[in-house]
A = this chain, B = another copy of it.
Amino acid sequence: MDVKILCLGVLTLGEASGYEIKKQLEEGPLAYFYHAGFGSIYPALKALYHDKQIDCFEVSQESRPGKKVYSITAKGYESFRSALSRKPAIDKIRSEVLLMFFFARFVDREHLHGVFEKYLEGAHKIVKQLESLDMVDTTPDCEFTNGLGRAIFGAIACYMEDNRQLLFGLERSNSGCPTTSKT
């Protein structure tokens, strides 16, 4: 499953431009479990349009660049449903931050600390964001997924706050590996 399907999904929520799709992926309820950049969204929309899975009409705006607003077609719905009916791939996660935590003994304390606090703050932000979305969004599907997100990032934030000492508590020399020292 690729970005095309993701775009179709977003478009089932209402028409949008490529730029707006990206925003929804960053700020909307999907933010925490799927990511895509312009470099993949625009080509995906192009392909979907050529395949008549989405319609397009251009909108000129005053004091704004014109945008292309896309909306999903019947054919688009069909292929979206069909994609969702297949066995989903296992989650692909790649967290460099967690990798850094896991190998924290190799990392400069100050650097680690900065990354840690930023990550913690990010978790809080996601929780708040999802909480604010709860007000406006109402489908049970979305509610479920939002709640799950809050549960996950709430747990992360909570755990990180309660267990700082495991990474920072006791002074620890950078043991476990040879430092590059030529004495």
- Bound together, the chains give a CA A29 to CA B140 distance in angstroms of 34
- B147 near A159: Cβ-Cβ < 8 Å: yes
A3 to chain B, nearest CB (A): 10
A167–B144 CA distance with the chains assembled, in angstroms: 7
Q: Does A6 contact B (CB under 8 A)?
A: yes
Stretch at the interface among A15-23, A49-57, A63-71, A90-98: A90-98
Docked CA distance A166–B170 (Å): 44
Complex: A85 Cα to B154 Cα, angstroms: 27
A31 and chain B: residue at smallest CB distance = B93
Q: A93-B32, A94-B91, A159-B151 are in contact. Are A100 and B74 (CB under 8 A)?
A: no
Using A94-B92, A158-B151, A167-B141 as known contacts, say yes or no to A99 and B172 having CB atoms under 8 A apart.
no
| Secondary structure type dominating chain A contacts | helix
- Chain A residues 136-183 with CB under 8 Å of chain B are 139-145, 147-148, 151-152, 154-156, 158-160, 163, 166-167, 169-170, 172, 176-178, 180
Complex contacts, A102 vs chain B, CB 8 Å = 9, 29-30, 141-142, 145
Query: Taking the complex as formed, is A81 at the interface, i.e. its CB lies under 8 A from any CB of chain B?
Result: yes
Which residue of B35, B98, B108 contacts A145 across the interface (Cβ within 8 Å)?
A: B98
Point out which of A9, A89, A166 has the most chain B C-beta atoms below 10 A from its C-beta.
A166
Known contacts A78-B180, A147-B163, A151-B159; A96 and B88 CB within 8 A of each other: yes
Cβ contact within 8 Å between B156 and A144: no
CA distance A96 to B167 in the complex (A): 32
Q: Which of B89, B145, B152 contacts A96 (CB 8 A)?
A: B89
